[in-house]
Amino acid sequence: MMIVLIVLVALLGITTYIFMKRPQFGALPEGTRLAAIQSSPHFKDGRFRNRVEMPIITAGYSMTGEIYKPLFRSFPDREPVNPLPSVKTDLLAAPRDSDMIVWFGHSSFYLQLGGVRFLADPIFSGKASPLPGGVRAYKGSDIYTAADIPEIDYMLLSHDHYDHLDYETAVALKDKVKQPEQIIEKDWDQQLEIQPGFTLFTASTHHDSGRGFTRGQSLWLSFYLRAPHMSVYYSGDGGYDERFRKIFEQYGAPDWAIMECGQYNEAWRSVHELPEEVAKATEELQARNLLTVHHSKFTLAQHPWYEPLEKITAYSENKPYRLATPMIGETVRLNDNSQQFAQWWKNIR
């Protein structure tokens, strides 16, 4: 029996090793890229670090406890039974000079601003994990494919977690990205001049990175786009801290804030904001409009799937910003302050 057990463990180890060598899990940096990473002021003791280190698990909670909770407790409505309503906007026919956002569910969205086309954290594979039997997209939330996306100027990748960097989607979109350099890596507090008067700034966030067993070998960040007539901020993933007030002080008030609001838990609020913190951060940014993402496609937390929308709607009442709640695929007209959005998640269970 001991010999059989040793053989089985060895086979499992070999299988895991081979499986983890698949390109979906990425590769560790080397050469000039590794040298650039190690020279970053945010790379310390073998990995990237947050500016202020905080435990991932909130005091009073434990990682083990959070893993075992779903085994002994029921968490209702974690995913919808019925398909989500959605709209299939023809992006290939969209005039390039129209300022617009189309959200694809979770954190994926298409943005046209000042004639420049962006695609952020795209996932069109229908899954949030490369593992067999992993988390799948909700019915009705996965209506777009890479073929529906026009040529884009920049693909923005906030970090390398699987629900933001989808290998199959990135490969399918590679030839549609028209920036001269296929891959441009930036540190926090850097910028990229896109065209006269149009700048992309990279800002910090409080999160983590990693594909497979190695953590912190690539940086997590947020983006601030400043065009001559409008500015847009995308938060990426990250828990609440003082950075939102500092981003306002450094770059000014964005016209639109695209903010993470979903897959949160009091136990890991250091790396994912709670809805009340999203509302607070939006006020500190002094954003004029708020669109929330990181919800309505995958179940990665214990809250009801619709809770992020319900809570941010409640917390946004009588706030100085306007809340936009588009359906997946619905065009958000960035210059139209009169555009109305339905509470489409109501009565869907």
Q: Which domain holds residue 114?
A: 91-333
Question: From CA 219, how far away is CA 116, in angstroms rounded?
Answer: 25
Higher pLDDT among residues 180 and 305, named by residue: 305
Query: In the chain, how many domains are there?
Result: 1
Handedness of CA 15, 16, 19, 23 (dihedral sign): negative
Residue 58 falls inside a structural domain: no
Assess whether pLDDT exceeds 70 at residue 18.
Answer: no
Residue 78 falls inside a structural domain: no
Q: Which two tokens stand for residue 321?
A: 């910003």
* b/e burial code for range 204-238 (CB count within 10 A of at least 16 → b): bbbbbbbbbeeebbbbbbbbbbbbeebbbbbbbbb
Backbone dihedral region for residue 223 (phi beyond 0: left; psi -120 to 50: alpha; all else: beta): beta
Residue 171 falls inside a structural domain: yes
The CATH code of the domain that includes 165 is: 3.60.15.10
Over residues 45-95, the pLDDT tens digits come to 999 999 999 999 999 999 888 888 888 888 999 999 999 999 999 999 999
Residue 229 falls inside a structural domain: yes
Assess whether pLDDT exceeds 90 at residue 27.
Answer: no
Assess whether pLDDT exceeds 90 at residue 133.
Answer: no
Residue 6 falls inside a structural domain: no
Per-residue confidence band for 275, with pLDDT thresholds at 50, 70 and 90: very high
Q: What is the pLDDT of residue 222?
A: 98
Residue 300 falls inside a structural domain: yes
Residue 97 falls inside a structural domain: yes
Residue 61 falls inside a structural domain: no
Distance of CA 97 to the CA centre of its chain: 26
